[in-house]
Amino acid sequence: MLKHIRNNLKEALVSIMPIVIIVMLLSLLIPMDPTLMISFLLSSIILIVGTTLFTFGADISMLLIGEKIGNQLVRSKKILLILLVSLVIGIATTIAEPDLRVLADQLTSIPSNLLILIISVGVGIYMVLSSLRSLYNLDLNTMLFVSFIIIFGLMLFVPSDFIPIAFDSGGVTTGTISIPFIMTLGVGLTASRTDKKAKESSFGLVALCSTGPILMVMLMGVFFNNVSDVNLSELVNTSFDYNTYLNQFIISLKDVLFSISPIIVILIIYQLITKEIGKLEMRKIILGIIIIIIGLTLFLMAANVGFMDMGYFIGEYMVDTNYSYLLIPIVMLLAFFIAVAEPAVKILVDKIEEITEGSISKKSMKLGLSLGVSLAAGMAMIRAFTGISFLYFVIPGYVLCLILMFLVPKTFTAIAFDSGGATGGTLTTTFLLPIAIGVCLANDGNILVDAFGLAALVSLIPIIMIQLIGILYKVKNRNTISVEEFDETIVDYNWEVTNG
């Protein structure tokens, strides 16, 4: 257990320390209020502790709960029950996702809980579709193609403010809480099949569950027209004291208890019906949930008190300096380190190296993903500075993704879209997005249109990168293995994901 905690602490340090170092270097160039820097450094320590506890608690509880429920559903062989539980799990686990809470809290013009509920329903619906695909070998390419055609069609009827938010929602919904349930359920369902393509269907579950929120927020935009710009004064505190932390801790604790309660209800109902969880396992699960609550509360408190405020300040202040555009490469550098440190990215590249038997190395894969995330962050900052429409990035990007779907091995398409959830991690919404918001505020831009969409781009570019790697793999191996043979020899997709 101590080794596990140390590993989680190391991952948190690697994720957060590059940001701390870069901010401290920036403080040599731009004057910062000492209280802001103290709050940021204190929040960084709290964020590291909170992230460590949260990921550790999720590892020892959420995976176990997901495995138990998944195995029970497979044994039941009741299709309606499987679909109903898939819907409930998709909704419940998404409500608990910290990245989604952070994103929703920055949208002061839309009620946070309403947005979270709508996004969660989207994940639940597509969780049902994912289960149907796993059971009946439905074609992932077709499902993704139809979904994005509908999304593109809805863009004609949706206010422009909603489009970046919709695509952002798809990038932040699959994380530490939901992925263990999604993956264990999917692996369990495909294990019930005996055809050659059963293992292939283990990929792409996260991809589908990331698509549902985009569609649902688009539909929300058709009927929800009362949207206004973000007021930064509602988001940022310029004075900090212990009461600020205490007040935010209480607010965050209430949010966490609300978020985690559906999962607790599911666990209680499952145990009352099946009585399959032994005393030792139940103690482990309860301990994990308690640790999750503490860790997630600390995480949200630190993000709201010091981390996001520093991001807002840097973005707004740098615009008024003679070296404002230096912020673009700075954010790209931050994004590169964030991508390298994401636990889900590490898992992803390990899996790619395994299924390609070393043809695509882990080193080149990680470099490609990190460069993709860095490029996406740079594009997002250019948008914040110039006000270039989000549509000029997202429409060509996803059109290219849809074209590439029919040119690469199907498994690479599934892995590519899954990677969107792996790269759009927590630090994107807690630090990079606030910088973009600060830039927009200083330029009198439309924050909803010009700043939001960052998480979407960070999820989009890696999809393209992995599809291009899939083409490279196909070319390198065209004389030794066919695409069909490749797709039929996929290893199990039983990832132990700790972040999305």
E strand or H helix that includes residue 438: helix 433-442
- What is the pLDDT averaged over residues 72-91? 84
Distance CA 387, CA 211 (A): 26
Measured CA to CA in angstroms, residue 330 lies from 77, 161, 315 at distances of 53, 27, 11
pTM for this model (two decimals): 0.80
The larger pLDDT score, comparing residue 24 to residue 12, is at 24
- What is the pLDDT averaged over residues 475-480? 66
- What is the pLDDT averaged over residues 472-497? 53
First to last CA, the chain: 23
Percent of the chain at pLDDT above 90?
18
**pLDDT(378) > 90:** yes
Confidence of residue 146 (pLDDT cuts 50, 70, 90): very high
**pLDDT(499) > 60:** no
Count the residues in the chain. Answer: 500
- What is the pLDDT averaged over residues 59-81? 79
**pLDDT(285) > 60:** yes
- What is the pLDDT averaged over residues 160-167? 86
Confidence of residue 498 (pLDDT cuts 50, 70, 90): very low
**pLDDT(194) > 80:** no
Q: Which residue has the tokens 């499987």?
A: 82
In this predicted structure, what is the pLDDT of residue 108?
A: 66
**DSSP one-letter string for 220-259:** HHHH--------GGGT--S---HHHHHHHHHHHHHHHHHH
The larger pLDDT score, comparing residue 465 to residue 289, is at 289
In this predicted structure, what is the pLDDT of residue 396?
A: 94
Asked if 89 contacts 123 with a C-beta cutoff of 8 angstroms, the reply is: no
Distance CA 105, CA 110 (A): 9
Nearest to 119 by CA among 221, 193, 23, 33: 221
Distance CA 344, CA 192 (A): 26
Q: Which residue has the tokens 């892995």?
A: 415
Distance CA 305, CA 249 (A): 9
Q: Which residue has the tokens 């004389």?
A: 479
Token output for 59: 């590892």
Distance CA 452, CA 440 (A): 10
**pLDDT(403) > 90:** yes
Angle between helices 98-105 and 162-172 (to 10 degrees): 160
Confidence of residue 488 (pLDDT cuts 50, 70, 90): very low
DSSP E strand stretches across 87-172:
none
Confidence of residue 45 (pLDDT cuts 50, 70, 90): very high
Asked if 214 contacts 169 with a C-beta cutoff of 8 angstroms, the reply is: yes
Residues 308-352 pLDDT 10s: 888 888 888 888 777 788 889 999 998 888 776 665 566 566 656
Q: Where are the domains of the chain?
A: 2-488
Residues 216-259 pLDDT 10s: 999 888 877 655 545 444 455 545 567 888 888 998 898 888 88
Nearest to 90 by CA among 177, 158, 154, 161: 177
In this predicted structure, what is the pLDDT of residue 489?
A: 45
